[in-house]
A and B are shown apart, each in its own frame.
Chain A
């Protein structure tokens, strides 16, 4: 069984559907209600909500092999003009929500004896994208958290990695215009726009039994031409 947060919309929805197409049992988690089978309502910013969801999944009694954290939000704002509530919402969802989710659900994978955790970062981290300071900061935190968690879970045969997409056509980039998208693409090694399927290909790579040695890594979609 694979848990996908943010699984009812955007990239998370695509990944969840693609996993189901590949005959994986998927539990989708999202804030919004949904008609998907195997969907659980849960706000990842709410620790108690996550604990309840953990119990529901644990009570299913099925081994959980992977957790894919797609839930996230973005907002284009200059650092000095970002409203306080926007800062808090981005950090609470992207960083704290991801930390909560990893912490609460990791024991489900530990019980299975091995597994994978995939968190989502962004190219905005490595290129220090102007106008996305808070978003980038939240995702930089996710990258660092994932690297440390990779060390802490290595003995449990659990790998922890990040995927860092560039501009993928989802609601998350609705505030970015075409010129900005072209400028971001210049920072990729492969200077073309990638899509949902390209991201899913990396998900499949990480989930593969052949990838048990890949951990603590950030996979930049299209390659990272940035400073790291």
Chain B
């Protein structure tokens, strides 16, 4: 499982601390025109989440059809990303 705060910490770490915690919260955009993340950062975030998933014993799929959907992207913000991450964790653990 992952919390929104943990995702925010990963985002800040991936950005080499260019993103400041005071300017970034669980509703901040990760993708889209208002995002403070570039594509490089987004891929690094995906890889960091994949590693986190490996640590706790499941596979995080960040290439799903839903991932980049404009309406319901899992990358919309840390909140949506945490929800998707935890959903995939629960689904795989319950298999």
Contact = CB atoms under 8 A, between A and B. Distances in A.
Interface in B1-53: 39-40, 43-44, 46-47, 50
Contacts, number: 17
Interface residues of A, number: 10
A213 interface: no
Instruction: Specify the main secondary structure of chain A where it touches its partner.
Output: helix
A145 to B, nearest CB: 16
Contacts of A152: 39
A52 to B, nearest CB: 10
Contact of A103 (B40, B50, B59, B63): B63
A97 to B, nearest CB: 16
Contacts of A107: 43, 46-47, 50
Given A107-B50, A111-B47, A156 B59 contact: no
Interface string A150-182: 001001100000000000000000000000000
Nearest to B40: A155
Nearest to A55: B59
A156 B40 contact: yes
Interface of B: 39-40, 43-44, 46-47, 50, 54, 59, 63
